[in-house]
Chain A
């Protein structure tokens, strides 16, 4: 049997977990979360500045490029606590864009862009398309070389998170028949290129991006020799951070449901005393603990060849099952209130569905695991 991973926890992780637990609780009470859902930007710029000042955006950026030189393992506790509070903002989009550049960017691109990201500039990735699945190298959009050496883009990307405020957008295209990544700035986009999408998780800002009419200098191409590695890295990093957000959300969702079961009375009894409610909550809880163990194993082993991929896929698959179950039951166990907008259970359920739809759901990752393990 292959090495499936193990738990390890660094002092930096411990410190960041403690700081993030406190900050996210203070900055993202649910009333704020709900207010920002109605806001066009979708998050609080003052909090974004605070995260930048704290150095969170540079946690996994090498010191040479203005970061603190830690890794994604140290980002995981931050995202876990953000997910726990349903906190909004372009933190994960930006972190993943930075990871794409670190892995696949040219030296010039890294020097130019990573310090800006570390200092608080938002960035994102445009990878998904309507007709493709979760395989990031299945790309329909194209870049074509023009006679003057510039690149003309064509096609449409979907589910580009935080694109309206991103100062850099990394786009996957097909160039000369092979996958390629190009770096866009907002100035490259023709007017109307971005359309805000209506998505199930209303804490998010997501956009469709029309590439037709965009023309770029060839130096916007990321390192052609590193594209495959970069796409693979993005896929795993995205799933690791999704699992972190989901595990945090699962914990909060369980706590939220327990509060109700401890106070709501029916037929003269606090309803949490009924085993029909109590025992499924125990199921939700044990799934949560298992998902969290997978998460911190994946964080610790992320950079290990082979084991990292296994651990990340297990983490995402376990988190999907745990979050979906906990949030589904949360709606049900709140009874009539659970059917209303005001009950927070729907917020968790919607976020779980969002994450299942991004970068592969539990069944997708289990299928990948079968190929890795058998």
Chain B
């Protein structure tokens, strides 16, 4: 489906706009998570799972995935239009982030026919929640050193070890798991394999981790003689590193094919600008302070640049020198800006910057402080900013490995 009839697209966009206008619930009576990493209560979980299911059933999620696997079979432009409508009406996030954004596109690209048939629809409908088992307690950014063992035994592998930072771990039906099938290889990367691993199985225990915000959202996952079916392998045994790296490209948005929607509604510079416009200090609008104003302009320029970067990647002549540059650097640029922006927002609130969530006098119920602390999830998760800088330095700028 490469050609798009503009009339069809416009009609679809109009329907999507009307649907989200009618169906978005902005205040369900409890605090909605801003990102999929912040789902801390069962109430939040069930609300978001129902919401994703509803969006999918209406045809506004997975619109560009093949029909045979629960998608809409439409060109990507249709899903983009639906996502824009979702954003315009401030729809809550899509819950099943790991499934929709990285496990799903990966299975579509590299999975077997049986795997596609078994998993993709459940990802879209949110029936099957997915989590990721890459990082380990001793190995965060250094995935190649993963020690969790998987030993072949007939039609399955026996898994032992532990994974950490498992987002949605206690709700997940499946995990994308990177485990060591051969500890004796010369290159550590060659001993790794990539599994689609059922989580509701004996020998798997998830333990909640309390985040710096005081909330829950992650688990540590322990495997004790847990069974991973051999037909859940993606790629050959020992070929897991390549699959994991491809997964990270999806995770970092360097490769397209995601199901659509968005999985975080982190505050952006325009929200902070709104905060600045309604904040006073010493009885005067805070933006009358030239130092504050200068910083605010800097952030508006920066977020505008990131938007423009995205538009520029659509113009091949304007990215000819380093076509992969902006895609590979976008995680680094976006997450670091978000962290600094939220820090700025906390400082904007002056004395009330000392308050935290649930304090009645806190500005916006302490949202900014919570956003700031949560923003580290993005500068650390999916490869820290320092690892990202290595990736950009090496793969974009051609510098030697550190």
- Could you say which residues of chain B place their CB within 8 Å of the CB of A18? 317
**Contact status A278-B308, CB under 8 Å:** no
Give CA–CA (A291, B332) in the complex, Å.
16
- Could you say which residues of chain B place their CB within 8 Å of the CB of A9? 315, 317-318
Which B residues from 358 to 402 make CB contacts under 8 A with A? 386, 389-390, 392-394, 396-402
Give CA–CA (A9, B306) in the complex, Å.
17
Cβ-defined partner of B318 (8 Å) among A278, A296, A317: A296
Total A residues in contact with B, Cβ cutoff 8 Å: 43
- Could you say which residues of chain A place their CB within 8 Å of the CB of B305? 289-291, 293-294, 314, 318
B293 → chain A, closest Cβ, in Å?
4
- Cβ-based interface call for B88 (8 A): no
**Contact status A285-B308, CB under 8 Å:** no
A126 → chain B, closest Cβ, in Å?
31
Cβ-defined partner of B312 (8 Å) among A261, A296, A367, A373: A296
- Cβ-based interface call for A346 (8 A): no
Give CA–CA (A4, B287) in the complex, Å.
19
B5 → chain A, closest Cβ, in Å?
23
- Cβ-based interface call for A363 (8 A): yes
A374 → chain B, closest Cβ, in Å?
5
B388 → chain A, closest Cβ, in Å?
8
**Contact status A270-B329, CB under 8 Å:** no
- Cβ-based interface call for A111 (8 A): no
- Could you say which residues of chain A place their CB within 8 Å of the CB of B27? none
- Cβ-based interface call for B146 (8 A): no
A373 → chain B, closest Cβ, in Å?
6
Residue of B nearest to A15 (CB): B317
Give CA–CA (A53, B327) in the complex, Å.
39
Give CA–CA (A199, B306) in the complex, Å.
35
- Could you say which residues of chain B place their CB within 8 Å of the CB of A262? 398-400
- Could you say which residues of chain B place their CB within 8 Å of the CB of A294? 301, 304-305, 308
Residue-by-residue, is B255-295 near A (CB-CB < 8 Å gives 1, otherwise 0)? 00000000000000010010001000000000100100110
Cβ-defined partner of A370 (8 Å) among B297, B318, B389: B297
Residue-by-residue, is A289-322 near B (CB-CB < 8 Å gives 1, otherwise 0)? 1111110110000000000000000100110000
Q: Is the interface of A mostly helix, strand, loop or mixed?
A: helix
Given A363-B294, A367-B290, the answer on whether A278 and B389 have CB atoms closer than 8 Å is yes
Cβ-defined partner of A4 (8 Å) among B298, B304, B333, B398: B304
- Cβ-based interface call for B309 (8 A): yes
- Could you say which residues of chain A place their CB within 8 Å of the CB of B304? 4-5, 294, 297, 314
Residue-by-residue, is A259-291 near B (CB-CB < 8 Å gives 1, otherwise 0)? 001100000001011110011011001100111
Give CA–CA (A81, B386) in the complex, Å.
32
Cβ-defined partner of B325 (8 Å) among A5, A285, A291, A317: A285
- Could you say which residues of chain A place their CB within 8 Å of the CB of B399? 258, 261-262, 272-273, 278, 281
Given A6-B311, A296-B312, the answer on whether A281 and B297 have CB atoms closer than 8 Å is no
**Contact status A273-B397, CB under 8 Å:** no
Q: Given A7-B314, A7-B315, A289-B329, output 11 extra A-B contacts at Cβ < 8 Å.
A: A7-B308, A258-B397, A258-B399, A273-B402, A275-B390, A278-B397, A289-B305, A293-B312, A296-B308, A297-B308, A369-B300
Instruction: Point out residues on B near A: beta carbons under 8 Å.
Output: 270, 273, 277, 287, 290, 293-294, 296-298, 300-302, 304-306, 308-309, 311-312, 314-315, 317-318, 321, 325-326, 329, 332-333, 386, 389-390, 392-394, 396-402
Q: List 14 A-B contacts (CB under 8 A).
A: A4-B300, A17-B317, A261-B399, A275-B390, A278-B399, A279-B389, A286-B333, A289-B325, A290-B305, A291-B305, A297-B308, A318-B305, A366-B294, A373-B300
